Structure 1
Amino acid sequence: LKVLHPNIPEQKTYVKKLNIILGGFNEYLRNKIQFTLFSIVPILRNIKLFIQDYHLGYSEKLLLELDEDELTYFLSEFLPLKFMNLSKSDLKSMCKSLNVFITFLRDKLNYYNDEGIYKRMIDAIKVDKIINTISLDEQKDIGKELINLLSSVVGIEINDFEGVNEYFLEFLGEIYNLEDKERLKMEKKKKKIIDTINLEINLEPWYSTREINVGRIILDNVCKNIHKLKNVYSNGLLAAIDYALNEIFSKTTTQKQIAKRHNISTNTLIKYRYAIANCIPLEYFFPIFISESDLESNKEITYIFKINNFYESRNFFKFELLESNTLQDLHYVIQGIMKEVDFFGGHLYSFFMSGKEWDSSTEYSGPPENQHHYSSQNTDVALKDVNLGYKQKFLYLYDYGDCIKYNVMLVGLDIYDENKKYPHRIK
């Protein structure tokens, strides 16, 4: 994705923010909307054209101030003048791209909150309204988008309609089988893992049968969640299970020794251990942190989190929260330690439990009162119901425009202490 550039020096700061927004939009398309690559490329190209050539070059308004008059002028006057051979398919593509982009700005950056303004903007970019006001190059329009898409999908250049019939069925097959292909790919990967990893043979020198049975439960959980663990493969996975069992049963083997057993680096071992964290039942770690008598007291479990700015890993904070506290409470904790106090409480935010921003399958968004229309999972959920794992690393993203990010990791457990006020700051 080529970045935007300022047309004049005074735009430098504003363009930096626009590039952040465009980068977030790119991730949004890939993860939140889950478009195919063939859909994403023209959308990004169109939006870059709109922002770089029109918004930065001609408009006197900020992106936040965009309205239906600006959109109408861009589509009906600016585009036809810039592209003398503008076609109907070009116009349709631009209208579709603007629709997705404006919806992204509203849903993720909280722009255009006035429902009337938003509806008028969407109405202004309906292609049927624009077509009647401009002259289009109909000759250029004939099947251009279809031909380009066919060329992309089948990997062979098709210059005109002579090649369309030959590849049309293959094209349709690609479109309709994408989901099935992804499912089959995951099933194949799961089968390979099951066929490759034999815990009894692989771990027998270091663990008892009872301990290996715990490893089997972890492996089963990984296989159930294999669609969320796309970058996990057999060798690293076996090492991560070995590492987890070493922790659970308080063995003394070092990270370096475990990595050497499986011919991987220590960094790779740690990366895989983090990746499978929420596949390991949290209660396996209770005896490590909590005494047997405390566990029998039925007091509430507490979670200890390590929190650091995404770009400053050495400087971190530790906070202890009750398992009944919510992700929204954790949000308030992070807000309290943020240096950018001007942003306090006024913007939308999300937790991405996979650690990957805009990953909608693991997203919890807030504030709940503002996000319940747009997200199936909100931050008013109790921590104990989030399925957190020990050493699970996840991402907090605040303000979808400026994208202020913090890493959060569950690093310990404890029991409720009546002498503490929760959330409790440890460091």
Structure 2
Amino acid sequence: MSFENSLSFARQLDAADPLREYRKAFHFPRVGDKQVIYFTGNSLGLQPRRTQQFVDDIMKDWRELAVEGHFYAEKPWWDYHERLAEPLSRVVGAKPEEISVMNTLTVNLHLLMVSFFRPTEKRYKILCEEKAFPSDQYMLQSQLRFHGLDPDEALVEVKKREGEHHWHTGDIIDKIEELGDSLALVLIGGVNYYNGQVFDMEAITAAAKKAGAFVGWDLAHAVGNVELHLHDWGVDFASWCSYKYMNSGPGNASGIFIHEQYLDREDIPRFEGWWGTRKESRFLMKPTFEPIATADAWQLSNPPVLALAPYLASLEIFEEVGMKAIIEKRNKIVAYLEFILHEIDRQVESRFEIITPEARGCQLSVFLHGEGRSLFDYLMKEGVIVDWREPNVIRLAPAPLYCSYEDMYAFGQVLKAGIERNY
């Protein structure tokens, strides 16, 4: 499709957008008298308008039913989390029984490592990407030390090629094959937080399984953003946060995926708690753990329903729209944003560079050659909410549920003005 850098053309795209009405389903913050142009759905999604009612329902049940809300609320609390499994399974390409919602992302990765990182004298190394998200780095290093291993020797990072900003799938597969039977686990962020690259999860998973290693994915930047087929790819486990593209609220609950081959088994090591034991016998207070036959067996405690309510509200929107429609708009709006960036770049004589490769989701990361933090500050002051990463990269993520094509055009005009004014 041929694009134009004009307000009228952007408005034509919005008029033809089948998701245009969903923009009204979200609350937008304001900067002064301006409704913001919001590019940080990859950090914290906007609040759906329907979220308040979901939370209010629980507050009402708590007020009027107290402890009886566990069983007699309209959505009983004791199995509240189960309502999220089926819609989430369609988002991540899984079976509902392979999904649970609990804790937060790094907590869940630590818990899943109990099951899927079982080093032996021969097979003990972990493979991840160079400069993984810091929390993943800390988690992996601490797990290795817990097992008495030296992270400098047991944690292997796949590096980008000299002078390039992205990874090559072939390099990752080559490293898996090189490590061979010393490799215990591959754990990579499915979408890189810094450059926005989507890894070839299917190919990497297949290579890791062929090498005899477990494979897991940190899907913090992937869920609700890119097409996933976790079950069909044979992924062993995955986890993600819910507050980015899933719009569940700051620091909210994490989702997990565990492939069905590991379900309903008592020989899988894991840390166990009351809410992972079978519902039928849970209140018999038996001294022996009897795992639920689903991913819920990895739960420890009863679900934090006040936290899960916003997640359920957002998933209702994903059910209405469907990932296919979300991805179709994502592709188009990101392509239009890229076009606008190139147009502005041409007009201001090459002041920045898009470092996100073609294998991408919603995010474009822009390297600001010759520009500094002052340009970011200018954008924020003008109501363009973007994300800054050192040394001089801004991340732009036009979430398709609430960003408009007119936003992309308007951003280009603000960016051009900021550069021309030497911010």
Greater helix proportion: 1
Query: Could you state the TM-score of these two structures normalised by the residue count of structure 1?
Result: 0.21
Query: Could you state the TM-score of these two structures normalised by the residue count of structure 2?
Result: 0.21
Structure with higher Rg: it is: 1
